Amino acid sequence: MADRIGDWAGKAFQEIHPNNPLNKLNDSDRKALWALLMAYAYASRAKRGERTNAFLKELDSMSKTVADAAKLGTRLKSKVFEGTSSEALRPFTAGFDDLPVRLIEFSKTLGEALNSFGKQGHKAKIFANQSLVQASEFVLAKTGQHYDEHLAELFQAIGNRPEELELSGDAIRKKREHLKESYPVLYANALKRAKSEYES
């Protein structure tokens, strides 16, 4: 299998311009970079791996439920605990006065944790982008520069990638900056994995 990966990576590198600085990478680094780009291509497909897709759908479903809990807490507070009939309901609501605030706090706390994987409806995209950002950071660790345009050229040379997946250096830079600004924990993980791959 390792030889086949080397062949596939070698074929992709043969397709890029001879002056592409990524050509200076050794065979081991080429295979690692090819694998990261393939992971991005795989995760970006319309039909992703079932397990990954099911996991991300479950996270999205939980995010929605948790967001709904905050909305319910707000409605309970305004309609039941502070509404026009709140005094008449007091015998039934006594002891539950903190329920709306607790629901809102619960939603905020768990919502922040769940959304660290990506906002609702965007988790699959953010998950896919992590591999691309890791590839970009791997190039930086190996060469001293991101070389996003050259990384984009290599990505276009990879076989078995979805045809609709077109990448430019600018798109890679924007995805990296977006992950860094909006999802710092995920960016830190991608950076850590890139450095660990660099050291291996």
3-state secondary structure at position 159 = coil
Mean pLDDT across 131-142: 93
Segment 35-51, tens digit of pLDDT: 889 888 877 764 544 55
In the chain, what are the domain boundaries? 2-46+122-199, 50-115
**For position 196, what pLDDT does the model report?**
78
Give the count of beta carbons closer than 10 Å to the beta carbon of residue 170.
11
| Cα gap 96→98, rounded to integer Å | 5
| Cα gap 143→133, rounded to integer Å | 15
Lowest mean pLDDT among 118-122, 128-132, 156-160: 118-122
| % the chain with pLDDT above 90 | 48
Mean pLDDT across 145-160: 90
Token pair belonging to 131: 């591999």
User: pLDDT class for 76, splitting at 50, 70, 90?
Assistant: very high
Q: pTM of this prediction? A: 0.68
Give the count of beta carbons closer than 10 Å to the beta carbon of residue 113.
12
Three-class SS string for 3-48? HHHHHHHHHHHHHCCCCCHHHHCCHHHHHHHHHHHHHHHHHHCCCC
pLDDT at 1 over 50: no
